[in-house]
Structure 1
Amino acid sequence: MFARRTAWDLTPTELAERVACRRAEGRLVVDGVDTNPGRCGILRPGEILREGLDRLARDPRALRYEPDPRGDLDVREALAGLYADTGRSLGADRSILTAGTSEAYAHLFRLLADPGDRIHLPSPGYGLFAHLAELEGLEVASYPLREPGPGRGARWRLDLDALAADLDERSRVIVTIDPHNPTGSFVDPADLASLASIAEERGLALITDEVFTDYATEGHARPGPSELGDAGPLRFVLSGASKVLGLPQIKVAWIGVEGPPALRNDALARLEFVADAFLSVSPLAASLMPFLLAHRDEIQTEIRARLSANRAALAGRVAAWEGVELLPAEAGWHAILRVRRPAPAAPDRPRSLDEEAFVLALLDRTGVLVHPGGLYDLEPRDRSGRPCEHLVLSLLIEPDRLSRVADGLEPLLAETSAGLDAPSLRASDEPSV
């Protein structure tokens, strides 16, 4: 009865079930993966939103409905100014508004690929993008990101050889996340230039997701803008209010279209038709955007301060934890902890950290929630190929919540470092909170 593309395994993960159970029972959950600014004590976005809503309530234009398939021109002009401020070009005539970046992906997948075609996503990565592709009947292929070697900074590199070897006649789109989530790595300019050459030669489109681009880590900066201009392959740049303004509830995002004029104009005309079929962007939300964008620096200053303080605090805690490393990052809202596997006590009794068992035990013993690295397809080995595990947590949460997360992690990580058998960490032991 149902489409094959919706034949997912909808069984909740054990971690999701245990979190839901604790919350239903009114038990403590210290959410260490929360990235919702409004739940993390980030105040300025909400303050500015309230002021914008007060203005909107007095604006007679709010009572009219005059949809533009490409999105409100005032918003697109404001976005053009935003990009110009950073030395980049995104003309108001080259952008399309959408109701969130997920919808932007869906529109682009419909535009660029037919059911059965392939898109290529980076790995590690965030599973949502694969689901969006599968909803359009597309086949998902992954290309690896390679961690830098010791002393070579925080920038992961695209494995272009592996990507090129996997391209075939059904390949249509290559997606990059710049900066990447959760590694926080910017795409290296040399990799981007090579990727553009591959895409142009093969007739593929590039989609670049830039939602975290404004949140470079202290001491790092986004590489300069691409020099491709009207040359190179057809390219699409995505971002949205969720991260740029810390306001996921606004549900406004945008697609910038770049590349050879003939291809670009054809893509814009087709995207306009797709957008016109849905007209999903709320005119009221769009009306708020120019005002909100004018206060972007205030919002981002607060968010960057939180991210910087939390990364420094976490680094200080992790420095005292044997066998644990905070991976360096160039940008983003997440932190990755790498946990080295302890040496076996004896050849016939191997010991290791099972990251899923660990996060379950952490939740049951302390109420602290973090994500296992496997959720993002982080490989269980370090840059030298040695076995390890990864834990992922948010840097956006309040400092006192981050401290509680670290307090919960520390004793369990100490047990692991001491060579505790993985089975004794399993949540089935149900230790008391």
Structure 2
Amino acid sequence: MDVTPGAWRRTAAGAGLLSPSGEVAPTIFAEMSAAAVRTGAINLGQGFPDEDGPAEVLEAAREAIAAGVNQYPPGRGIPDLLLAISEHQRRFYGLEVDPEREVLVTAGATEALTATLLALIDSPKDEVVVFEPYYDSYAAAAALAGARLRTVPLRRPGFQPDLDELAEVVNDRTRIILVNDPHNPTGAVFAPDVLAEVVRLAERHDAVIVTDEVYEHLSFHAPHTPIATLPGAAERTLTISSAGKTFSTTGWKIGWVHGPAALITAVLTVKQFLTYVNGAPFQPAVAVGLRLPDAYFADAAAALLRKHELLDGALRAAGFEVHPPQGGYFTVADATALGGADAAAFCRALPERAGVVAIPLTAFVAPERRGDYAGLVRFAACKRVEVLEEAARRLAAL
């Protein structure tokens, strides 16, 4: 293995992590969060809640700490959490998952994704197909694994892919088709024909489907459909999720991946040399959360939808064209009518102009495709109602 400075620079450059001078480049998220601190602006850029999750889940973590659950847990995760994940998949989706062989607890969904790509990419010729715009860690993980990233654009108004374009991109070099549903940053939920085509293409080209389903319980208008429930999909699908979004515990970093035992073993082989294990007292707490009554999950989605409706109304009143999300934390709005044809410049000016921070959608696309999303801005709705109401008052000044 090449461990010279040139190797890490090539990897970082491939992931877009280096500036032209060769220094580590600050992300737009860090830049805009710093702007929020500097100006006192309301930060609707980063996707984390500003209120705690369910009391019984928090209390379970306290009890675990007091009971001495503070050392390394088992490598796959504590048995009760593995069982709770299996029960959850059966309860909500009818999936039968062996908790001892087909589930792995990880340090959040991001580690699950990265370990999966590192485990399954065999050659620099291997390709990872993602839908663009995409969560920024996908490109970094593909670069670390040495794979080629291939993208399929999502088209407005519903941010769905063209199925012919998808079929053109997926080929015999495709090792992984990576699906984020509900989708960050667009808030899209993929249509049934999109999911079916992903499965068809994966079967045709012998690819593995990797799904990022962290917003699974924040789908607003229809129950979430995991790809693993589709005919022929389970035997080639690794399903990733986490507790952070569902229980408003993003700082706990408790995620998981489940799928065929041989694939899970491959991911574990890599994961054990990344974090090894993590979050011992949080794991039993997440098991409590996964067993909460159905009403908790329905109420969480309904509460977030109301916040989106508040934010969306404020954005429309301010002059944005809004693309209402179908799930997840984020609303996408077009700022072109407000002089925001260059969304990055618009977002950099917004803290001073209106006292609000947002993220340009161009942060989630490759440079050559930024023109397709040039005026689009992402706002996070996962904040307290009073914070969103204050943001609405500030945006009214635009």
Shorter-chain TM-score category?
0.7 to 0.9
Any gaps of 5 or more consecutive residues in structure 2? none
Deviations 1:20-53 (A, max 9, x none): 3663x5x41211224322xx2x2344x3344113
Taking structure 1 as reference, are residues 374 and 355 closer, same or farther at Cα in structure 2, changes over 3 Å only? same
Deviations 1:182-236 (A, max 9, x none): 222222222212211111111111111111011122x443348755456676111
Aligned partner of 2:134 in structure 1 is: 125
Q: Give the conservation status (yes or no) of the 8 Å contact 2:330–2:380.
A: yes
* RMSD (CA atoms): 3.0
Normalising by the residue count of structure 1, what TM-score does the alignment of the two structures yield? 0.77
Deviations 1:83-127 (A, max 9, x none): 222133141132111111111112211221135122111111221
Q: Give the conservation status (yes or no) of the 8 Å contact 1:70–1:275.
A: no
Q: Give the conservation status (yes or no) of the 8 Å contact 2:359–2:378.
A: yes
The 5 A counterparts of 1:65-104 are: 67-91=73-97, 92=99, 93-104=101-112
Normalising by the residue count of structure 2, what TM-score does the alignment of the two structures yield? 0.83
The answer as to 2:169 corresponding to 1:183 is: no
Q: Give the conservation status (yes or no) of the 8 Å contact 1:160–1:195.
A: no
Taking structure 1 as reference, are residues 15 and 245 closer, same or farther at Cα in structure 2, changes over 3 Å only? closer
Structure 2 counterpart SS, 1:213 = coil
Q: 1:359 aligns with which of 338, 342, 347?
A: 347
Alpha-carbon distance in 2 for matches of 1:22, 1:70: 39
Taking structure 1 as reference, are residues 168 and 239 closer, same or farther at Cα in structure 2, changes over 3 Å only? same
The answer as to 2:387 corresponding to 1:401 is: yes
Deviations 1:34-78 (A, max 9, x none): 4322xx2x2344x33441133214536x2675x533222211111
The 5 A counterparts of 1:137-286 are: 137-148=146-157, 154=158, 156-217=159-220, 219-223=221-225, 227-228=229-230, 234-257=236-259, 264-278=260-274, 279-286=276-283
Amino acid at match of 1:52: A
State percent identity of aligned pairs: 24
Structure 2 counterpart SS, 1:172 = strand
Alpha-carbon distance in 1 for matches of 2:160, 2:223: 16
Q: Give the conservation status (yes or no) of the 8 Å contact 1:33–1:370.
A: yes
Structure 1 counterpart SS, 2:216 = coil
Aligned partner of 1:30 in structure 2 is: 42
Amino acid at match of 1:335: T
Taking structure 1 as reference, are residues 288 and 307 closer, same or farther at Cα in structure 2, changes over 3 Å only? closer
Aligned partner of 2:25 in structure 1 is: 11
Aligned partner of 1:376 in structure 2 is: 364
Aligned partner of 2:327 in structure 1 is: 331
Q: 1:109 aligns with which of 108, 117, 129?
A: 117
Q: Give the conservation status (yes or no) of the 8 Å contact 2:199–2:232.
A: no
Deviations 1:386-408 (A, max 9, x none): xx721211111122222332333
Taking structure 1 as reference, are residues 103 and 18 closer, same or farther at Cα in structure 2, changes over 3 Å only? closer
Deviations 1:368-418 (A, max 9, x none): 211122123386569xxxxx7212111111222223323333333xxxxxx
Structure 1 counterpart SS, 2:154 = strand
Higher relative contact order (CA 8 A, sep 6+): 2
Any gaps of 5 or more consecutive residues in structure 1? 149-153, 258-263, 343-350, 383-387, 413-433
Taking structure 1 as reference, are residues 63 and 406 closer, same or farther at Cα in structure 2, changes over 3 Å only? closer
Structure 1 counterpart SS, 2:353 = helix
Give 1 or 2 for the bigger CA radius of gyration.
Answer: 1
Structure 1 counterpart SS, 2:129 = strand
Q: Give the conservation status (yes or no) of the 8 Å contact 1:74–1:290.
A: yes
Alpha-carbon distance in 2 for matches of 1:224, 1:202: 21
Q: Give the conservation status (yes or no) of the 8 Å contact 1:359–1:369.
A: yes
Alpha-carbon distance in 2 for matches of 1:162, 1:196: 15
User: Aligned pairs, how many?
Assistant: 377
Alpha-carbon distance in 2 for matches of 1:13, 1:226: 33
Taking structure 1 as reference, are residues 317 and 95 closer, same or farther at Cα in structure 2, changes over 3 Å only? same
Deviations 1:325-363 (A, max 9, x none): 221221111111123448xxxxxxxx8733222222221
Taking structure 1 as reference, are residues 411 and 379 closer, same or farther at Cα in structure 2, changes over 3 Å only? farther
Structure 1 counterpart SS, 2:93 = coil
Taking structure 1 as reference, are residues 371 and 228 closer, same or farther at Cα in structure 2, changes over 3 Å only? closer
Amino acid at match of 1:12: P
Alpha-carbon distance in 2 for matches of 1:243, 1:119: 25
Amino acid at match of 1:310: K
Alpha-carbon distance in 2 for matches of 1:18, 1:206: 33
Deviations 1:113-152 (A, max 9, x none): 135122111111221211122122222111122335xxxx
